[in-house]
Amino acid sequence: MRNGAGVRQSHAIYPGSFDPPTNGHLDVIARAATVFASVTVAVVVNPQKRSPFFSVDEREEMLRRCTGAYANVRVAHFRGLLADFVSRIEADVIVKGLRVVSDFESEMAFAHMNRSLSNVDTMFLMSDSSYSFVSSSLIKEVFLQGGEISKYVPDVVLEFMQQKRPAHGRK
Ligand code: PNS
């Protein structure tokens, strides 16, 4: 991406399931927004995941509300290959967060595959250490067992989750 003066401006894509978005995701988005000229947060529409906790629309809505303060962040969704979507929106770089060393093993293969398919590199941001154990799946498990999750998700997400409780929860 180039600005009016022909100067290169990096457009990053931050893909994920975001089911639901966590404070760890938000931390990566906030930091990416300071490094790159624009950031597209891209929710994957994954037909293999039979019963996601939140619909794609809900995930996009939560992300929009959590990232409204960042003028250079937009939220989108995509189906199929990330590499194809990266090419379609002309992103320059894929951003991923790394929480623990073991994340790197799978992410390295994804990064090589995505670069091979789309010629776009992946850049990794280390998740803040305070979020190293926070994942969407763990948040859902703790929530559904009645545990306290307010420390780990933005307020908007907490509200959306509480609305789901009668359908999904035990309380
Ligand atoms: O938040 P997640 O579930 O870890 O995100 C995984 C995601 C969406 C980044 C990954 O599953 C993905 O890129 N899916 C799109 C399909 C695809 O391109 N698969 C090949 C990856 S090399």
> Hey, is 123 helix, strand or coil?
strand
Distance (angstroms) between ligand 1 centre and the Cα of 82 equals 7
Shortest-distance Cα residue to atom 12 of ligand 1: 82
Nearest to 15 by CA among 61, 105, 71, 80: 80
How many CB atoms sit inside 10 A of residue 12's CB? 23
CA 54 vs CA 28, 30, 35, 112, 126: distances in Å: 21, 23, 29, 30, 26
How remote is the CA of residue 16 from the centroid of ligand 1, in Å? 6
Q: Is 136 a catalytic residue?
A: yes
pTM (predicted TM-score): 0.93
The answer to whether the beta carbons of residues 7 and 143 sit under 8 Å apart is: no
Ligand 1 pocket (Cβ < 6 Å) reads 15-17, 44, 81-83, 110, 113-114
Question: Is the CB of residue 21 less than 8 Å from the CB of residue 162?
Answer: no
Q: Per-residue confidence of the chain (171 residues) as pLDDT tens digits?
A: 666 666 667 999 999 999 999 999 999 999 999 999 999 999 999 877 778 999 999 999 999 999 999 999 999 999 999 999 999 999 999 999 999 999 999 999 999 999 999 999 999 999 899 999 999 999 999 999 999 999 999 999 999 999 987 655 444
Strands 38-45 and 11-16: parallel
